Amino acid sequence: MDPSVNLTLIIVLVLAFILLALLFTFVPIALWISALAAGVKIGIFQLVGMRLRRVIPKRVVNPLIKAEKAGLQIELNKLEGHYLAGGNVDRVVNALIAAQRANIELTFERCAAIDLAGRDVLEAVQMSVNPKVIETPFIAGVAMDGIEVKAKARITVRANIDRLVGGAGEDTVIARVGEGIVSTIGSSKDHKAVLENPDLISQTVLKKGLDSGTAFEILSIDIADIDIGKNIGAGLQTDQAEADKNIAQAKAEERRAMAVAHEQEMKARVEEMRAKVTEAEAEVPMAMAEAFKAGNLGVMDYMNYQNINADTDMRGAIGRETKGNDDDGSSQTDNPL
């Protein structure tokens, strides 16, 4: 055989193999055969079109096969459109199958809308069949007698499919139930009434319709645990008494400071008066000199004035000496040794 013919044959075989590999890679033949075996009518060019639209065929075809086997009639275009919108096609189909088995009326459009809203639609359907229990943390309330009461509740809820889109979540339910518990405890006359009848909390909270506007329907609220906390009333009274004491001490300190300031002011005025007296005494010799010059004061008058001053100084000295002796005598009497 001609070597050039052999080379051409090998090249043809290699190109054929590459073409087949590309064909089987781009066109999911196995998936197409599986769909035909399951009774799902889908064309090979539809699968090629999915590839061109950047849709992974198995993400759409496998859920379609599942729905067909479950007896659901869903159009391929709807599943492909939901995939292109960013939805989870497999979860939507599973939710529709679960809803059909549980006799829950749920259309593909509503199911797809719930999925695109970010909710787990399969979990919602399962919760509609098997209600979920939400446990709250310890919620503290203060009764009218000032005693703190802590309660923990278990909320049994069922998903409300009609309100899944736009409805509030679990956090809102827990917050509303907590608000109801605090309100019920706060309206009780004393903590003993709450401890004796914890079901009053459940009844009061259920009457308020706390599930309005949420994605759930509250079936029951049960008090799982209840405990006594601090004596908030006594603590507040103690804090108030401490505050009153601090205020009184501050006012007393203010009055003391004002008294000290007034005392210092009086001392300053005394010193001022003494300075004026000293100033006046300094003017006496000058006045006497003027009187001498004017002839209004004679020598004898001046001598009498000097005698009076000397007599006054002598009496003052005697008085000081007598007072000193009295102080020494009293000290010796107190301390004979």
20-29, 65-74, 187-196, 308-317: segment of lowest average pLDDT: 20-29
Looking at the DSSP assignment, which residues form a beta bridge with residue 156?
133, 220
For 90-124, letters b (16+ CB in 10 Å) and e give: bbbbbbbbbbbeeebebebebbbbbbbeebbbbeb
Give the tens place of pLDDT for each residue, 221-260.
888 888 888 887 777 788 888 898 999 999 999 999 999 9
Cα–chain-centroid distance for residue 204?
A: 26
Structure tokens at 146: 């000032």
Query: What local confidence, expressed as pLDDT, does residue 324 receive?
Result: 65
Across 12-16, 243-247, 310-314, least confident range: 12-16
129: CB partners within 8 A, 6+ apart: 98, 102, 104
- Say which CATH class 132-234 falls into: alpha beta
Instruction: Count CB neighbours of 162 within 10 A.
Output: 11
Mean pLDDT (whole number) for 13-20: 70
Residue 264 has pLDDT above 50, yes or no: yes
The answer to whether residues 111 and 78 touch, using CB atoms and an 8 Å cutoff, is: no
User: Residue 2: pLDDT above 70?
Assistant: no
The predicted-structure confidence for 73-120, as pLDDT tens digits, reads as follows 888 889 999 999 999 999 999 999 998 888 888 889 989 998 998 888
Mean per-residue pLDDT, 167-179: 87
Nearest to 173 by CA among 203, 123, 129, 209: 209
Domain segments of the chain: what residues? Answer: 20-129, 132-234
- The answer to whether residue 336 scores a pLDDT higher than 50 is no
pLDDT at residue 20, rounded to an integer: 62
Q: Which of 52-56, 79-83, 328-332 has the lowest mean pLDDT?
A: 328-332
Q: Per-residue pLDDT for 335 more than 60?
A: no
Do you know the residue count of the chain? 337
| Separation of alpha carbons 323 and 333, rounded Å | 16
Output the pLDDT for position 167.
82
Which one, of 274, 285, 279, lies nearest residue 309 by Cα? 285
Q: What is the mean pLDDT of residues 169-181?
A: 87
Quickly state the pLDDT bin for 295 (edges 50, 70, 90). confident
Confidence (pLDDT) at 276: 87
* CA of residue 294 relative to chain centroid, distance: 96
